[in-house]
Amino acid sequence: MQSEKIYILAIESSCDDTACAILLNNTVLSNVVATQKIHEEYGGVVPELASRAHQQNIVPVIHSALKKANISKEQLSAIAFTSGPGLMGSLLVGVSFAKSMAMALNIPLIEVNHMRGHLLAHFIDDNESEIPEFPFLGLTISGGHTQIVEVTNHFEMNVIGETIDDAIGEAFDKSAKTLGLPYPGGPLIDKYAQLGNPKAFQFSRPNVKGLDFSFSGFKTAVLYLVQREVKNNPDFIKENLNDLCASIQFRLVDIVLDKLKKAVKQTGITTIAIGGGVSANSEIRKILQSTEKRFGWKVHIPKFEYTTDNAAMIGITGYYKFLNKDFADLKITASSRAKI
Ligand code: KG4
Ligand code: ZN
Which residue's alpha carbon is at the smallest distance from atom 13 of ligand 1? 186
Q: How many CB atoms lie within 10 A of CB 202?
A: 10
This prediction has a pTM of 0.94
Residue 146 near residue 215 (C-beta atoms within 8 A): yes
Average pLDDT for runs of 10 along the chain of length 340? 85 94 98 85 81 93 98 98 96 98 98 96 94 98 95 97 97 97 95 98 96 97 98 98 98 98 98 95 96 97 91 98 97 94
Residue 153 near residue 134 (C-beta atoms within 8 A): yes
- Amino acid letter for position 15: C
Distance in angstroms (rounded) separating the CA atoms of residues 150 and 270: 11
Task: Say which ligand is closest to the CA of 45.
Answer: 1
Exposed (0-12), middle (13-18) or buried (19+): which is 310, by Cβ within 10 Å?
buried
pLDDT value of residue 335: 94
Atom of ligand 1 minimally distant from the CA of 14: 6
What count of residues does the chain have?
340
Residue 1 near residue 303 (C-beta atoms within 8 A): no
Å from CA of 337 to ligand 2 middle: 13
144: Cβ below 6 Å to ligand 1? yes
Å from CA of 187 to ligand 1 middle: 7
pLDDT value of residue 231: 97
Pocket test for ligand 1, best of 15, 172, 175 (most atoms within 8 A of CB): 172
Strands ordered across the beta sheet of 7-12: 27-35, 17-24, 7-12, 78-84, 109-113
Distance in angstroms (rounded) separating the CA atoms of residues 33 and 61: 7
- Report which of 3, 5, 4, 6 is spatially closest to residue 321, judged by C-alpha positions: 6
- The SS3 call for residue 40 is helix
pLDDT value of residue 2: 54
What 3 state SS string does 202-249 have? CCCCCCCCCCCECCHHHHHHHHHHHHHHHHHCCCHHHHHHHHHHHHHH
**Topology classification of domain 7-122+307-323:** Nucleotidyltransferase; domain 5 (3.30.420)
283: Cβ below 6 Å to ligand 1? no
Which residue's alpha carbon is at the smallest distance from atom 5 of ligand 1? 143
85: Cβ below 6 Å to ligand 1? no
Query: Which class is 132-301 in CATH?
Result: alpha beta
Which residue's alpha carbon is at the smallest distance from atom 14 of ligand 1? 186
- Report which of 56, 49, 62, 59 is spatially closest to residue 16, judged by C-alpha positions: 49
Domain with CATH 3.30.420.40 in the chain: 7-122+307-323, 132-301
Å from CA of 331 to ligand 1 middle: 33
Atom of ligand 1 minimally distant from the CA of 282: 26
Å from CA of 310 to ligand 2 middle: 8
- The SS3 call for residue 6 is coil
Residue 88 near residue 95 (C-beta atoms within 8 A): no
Atom of ligand 1 minimally distant from the CA of 191: 26
* Upper half-sphere CA count for residue 320 (Cβ side, 13 Å): 19
Q: Phi first, then psi: what are they for 212, rounded to 5°?
A: -75, 160
277: Cβ below 6 Å to ligand 1? yes
9: Cβ below 6 Å to ligand 1? no
Q: Omega of the bond prior to 135 within 30 degrees of 0, cis?
A: yes
Å from CA of 85 to ligand 1 middle: 17
